[in-house]
Amino acid sequence: MNRDTQSAKVFSRRIFIIGALQAGTLAILGGRLAWLQIANGRRYKMLSDKNRINVKMLAPSRGLIVDRFGVPLAVNNQNFRVLIIPEQAEDMERSLRTLQKFIELDDKKIEQVLARAKKTAKFVPVEIKDELTWEEVSKIEVNLPELPGLSIDVGEVRSYPAGSSTAHIIGYVGLPAEADLDGDPVLTLPGFKIGKTGIERSYDEQMRGRAGAAQVEVNVVGREVRELNVQESVQGQRVVLSIDAQLQNMMQERLAQEKSASAVVMDAHSGAIYGLASYPGFDPNLFTHTMSAEQWEALLANPAHPLTNKAIAGQYPPASTFKMITALAGMRAGKITAERTVYCPGFYEYGDNRFHCWKKGGHGTVNVVGALMHSCDTYFYELATEIGIDRLAQTARELGLGQKLDFELNEERPGLVPDKSWKMGQFADVWHPGETIVASIGQGYLQATPLQLAVMTARFVNGGYAVKPWVTGYVGGRSYSKETWPKMSIDPYHLSVIKEGMDKVVNDKEGTAYGSRIEQAGYGMGGKTGTAQVTRISMEQRAAGVLNEDLPWTQRHHGLFVGYAPLENPRYVTAVVVEHGGGGSAVAAPLAKDILLKTQQRNPAATNIKTGFST
């Protein structure tokens, strides 16, 4: 019995030990559970959320650009793409080969896609082809069962309905370069494009919009299971321009009849730009897709510089269109009145030099109005010597030349108005009076862009207000347009004398642009011709009878014309430059006539810029 009790004791003790161990293990498990779920619960919750939630950025839609009537100039078109997700396609190559049956797809592209797929994670989609037509999309959708791993994706691609006619104003979009990365997360979206030139660039930030975000639940292979929270993206702001697209189209078409030309139509009072055309242009739609190297080379090599907006960046000697400034400077200086006359024998002698008037035999006796009407050089030569370059330059600048005009397109060039200090700074040389003579008729160092010439004309005919050009009406809901400008201190009598001269240039039968007068009732035009020398025709060439037309194209004169309409209380001004086109009256004036006639017929100034769009 002793043994039994002893063994019973041993047994009880050992059972107790085992029981205690069992309890102990539970305590350990409970403790560990508490450690994981209570002490570290929050940390694991965060990890589990990170496991399963990806934040996907939603690309915002780019703001539109429209003309003053709401005609779309830059829009977003749906861009259908076909993608392949490697992990969903058992045999990628087979799917791609099957795809070849339905859409055009070359073998090289298939290779590229397969190579790309190797480099990225298996659940990341690889683009096969974009800009699919609706027909191609339908074919693919219908045959999806035979195309494992493929899917259709809808994105946006920028499109320019007006094509080349507004290309220089609107600009184009492209992929951001290194320097463009300003930290905006939306730039990290693949294929996201930003404005590179023109209005697309000037208001790129406002037009970009704000990216949205979608919290997407993913499973362990990264596949999207469902969307949790979606914060919609916000479309960029709309830009409304002052441009009249139909007028712009007409201008571009008309300019296309020349080899290389540009033209501006502006509101003389407000400064609103109704048309800004430069020919040749380019199709901006080429830039939003991939352009071939040949196309790019062709654009660069074209001597007419299609990529340049010549209306604001082309700098030309203003030639005879400058004469109004000389006249005004002279009147302000008290050197001339409306009555003073000068005799023009066909040349002017100063010192040892003889400066020729364009008319061989001379114009005879002319006053300022007649000098403008006939574009007599001699009159202004003489006037110049009395005024001096500095006073001439001062008036020129007051009228808008020789400076940038705060225009929204950054291609704008400042032109050049020389004076004594400029010459000293530039050439370390004193100013010679002969140079003043040359400047008086808008040659020499003087340079102006068509935009500046239009502004100059406007300031002459709008009652003497320092108007400046602008092209942006609204960005989003905010108005950018301007209506009033400071008055300049110019005697209105002087302005009226000059205007009389300009009226007669076109409407008097002895005016240099009489052939371009507008005859339709209710419409009219005034202005000034100009012919800018590109190369000096030497005395020998002149003697040999070499004419402008005989020179190679790049050496021929530019034809210029500045105009306004209607004759009484002008509303619109224009400036036209035909590069190497020859005489202003022969080439540029008819162009201006057609443009100003169309402008008056359309009369864009009568309607306010459209606001209050729904989006």
Partner 1 sequence: MMGMIKIQSDQGFMDRLSHVNWGLVFLILLVSSIGFTALYSAAGGSFTPWASRQMMRFVIGLIGMFIIALVDIRWWFKLAWPIYFAGFVLLVIVEIMGQVGMGAQRWINLGFMQLQPSELMKIAVVMALARYFHAATLDDMRRLTFLVIPALVILAPVALVMLQPDLGTSLMILFAGAAMLFIAGASIRLFIGGVALAVASVPIGWHFLHDYQKRRVMTFLDPESDPLGAGYHITQSKIALGSGGIKGKGFLDGSQSHLNFLPEKQTDFIFTLWAEEWGFLGGMFLLVLFGFMFMYGPWIAMRARHNFGRYLAMGLSVNFSLYVFINISMVMGLIPVVGAPLPLISYGGTAMLAALIGFGLMMSAHVYRDSKMTRI
State yes or no: residue 222 binds partner 1 (CB under 8 A): no
Nearer of residues 85 and 344 to partner 1, judged by Cβ: 85
State which residue, 31 or 477, has the beta carbon closest to partner 1: 31
Rounded to the nearest 10°, the torsion over CA 239, 474, 407, 448 is 90
Closer to partner 1 by Cβ: residue 49 or 550: 49
Q: Which of 57, 83, 218, 586 binds partner 1 (CB under 8 A)?
A: 218
Strand partners, 51: none
| Residue 36 per-residue DSSP state | I
What is the SS3 assignment for 448? strand
Q: What residues contact residue 487 under an 8 Å CB cut-off, 6+ apart?
A: 463, 464, 465, 466
Half-sphere exposure of 91 (CA within 13 A, CB side): 7
Piece of the chain touching partner 1 by CB under 8 A; list 22-30, 126-134, 430-438, 477-485: 22-30
Q: Does 544 bind partner 1 (CB under 8 A)?
A: no
Question: What tokens appear for 183 in the block?
Answer: 């930290």
Phi, psi of 110 (to 5 degrees): -60, -45
Give the chain's largest Cα–Cα span: 160
Rule CB under 8 A: is residue 41 a binding residue for partner 1?
Answer: yes
Q: Which is nearer to partner 1, 20 or 144 (CB)?
A: 20
Task: Select the span of 199-207, 220-228, 337-345, 594-602 touching partner 1 (CB under 8 A).
Answer: 220-228
Which positions are annotated as active-site residues? 320
430 binds partner 1 (CB under 8 A): no
Instruction: State the minimum distance, in angstroms, from the CB of residue 219 to partner 1.
Output: 4
Q: DSSP of 79-144, one letter per residue?
A: EEEEEE-GGG-SSHHHHHHHHHTTS---HHHHHHHHHHHHHS-TTS-EEEE-S--HHHHHHHHHTG
- The closest of 272, 274, 275, 273 to 255, measured between CA atoms, is 275
Q: Which of 55, 142, 181, 225 binds partner 1 (CB under 8 A)?
A: 225
The answer to whether the peptide bond before residue 566 is cis (omega within 30 degrees of 0) is yes
337 binds partner 1 (CB under 8 A): no
Q: How many residues bind partner 1 (CB under 8 A)?
A: 41
For position 47 contacting partner 1 by CB under 8 A, the verdict is yes
Tokens representing residue 38 in the block? 């209570």
Is residue 33 within the footprint of partner 1 (CB under 8 A)? yes
Return the number of the residue (127 or 217) whose C-beta is nearest partner 1. Answer: 217
Contact with partner 1 (CB under 8 A) among 120, 138, 219, 257: 219
Q: Which member of 1, 3, 486, 606 binds partner 1 (CB under 8 A)?
A: 3
Is 220 a binder of partner 1 (CB under 8 A)?
yes
Is residue 121 a contact point for partner 1 (CB under 8 A)? no
The encoded tokens of residue 575 equal 């400036």
Please give the DSSP secondary-structure letter assigned to residue 280.
S
Among 1, 38, 293, 428, binds partner 1 (CB under 8 A): 38
Q: Work out which of 1, 34, 337, 463 binds partner 1, going by CB under 8 A.
A: 34
Task: For residue 329, give Cα distances in angstroms to 333, 385, 388, 414, 492.
Answer: 6, 12, 10, 21, 14
H-helix or E-strand spanning residue 79: strand 72-84
Q: What is the closest distance, in whole angstroms, from the C-beta atom of residue 13 to partner 1 in the complex?
A: 10
The nearer residue to partner 1, 2 or 615, going by C-beta atoms, is 2
Contact present, 400 and 321 (Cβ < 8 Å): no
Of 219 and 601, which has the nearer Cβ to partner 1? 219
Q: Is the dihedral of CA 447, 261, 560, 453 positive or negative?
A: negative
55 binds partner 1 (CB under 8 A): no
Taking the complex as a whole, the smallest distance from the CB of residue 173 to partner 1 amounts, in Å, to: 39
DSSP reduced 3-state for 406: coil
Main-chain dihedrals φ then ψ at residue 403, nearest 5 degrees:
-155, 160
Closer by beta carbon to partner 1, 144 or else 225? 225
Name the residues that contact partner 1, by CB under 8 A. Answer: 3, 6-7, 10-12, 14-16, 18-19, 22-23, 25-26, 28-30, 32-34, 36-38, 40-45, 47-49, 51-52, 217-221, 225
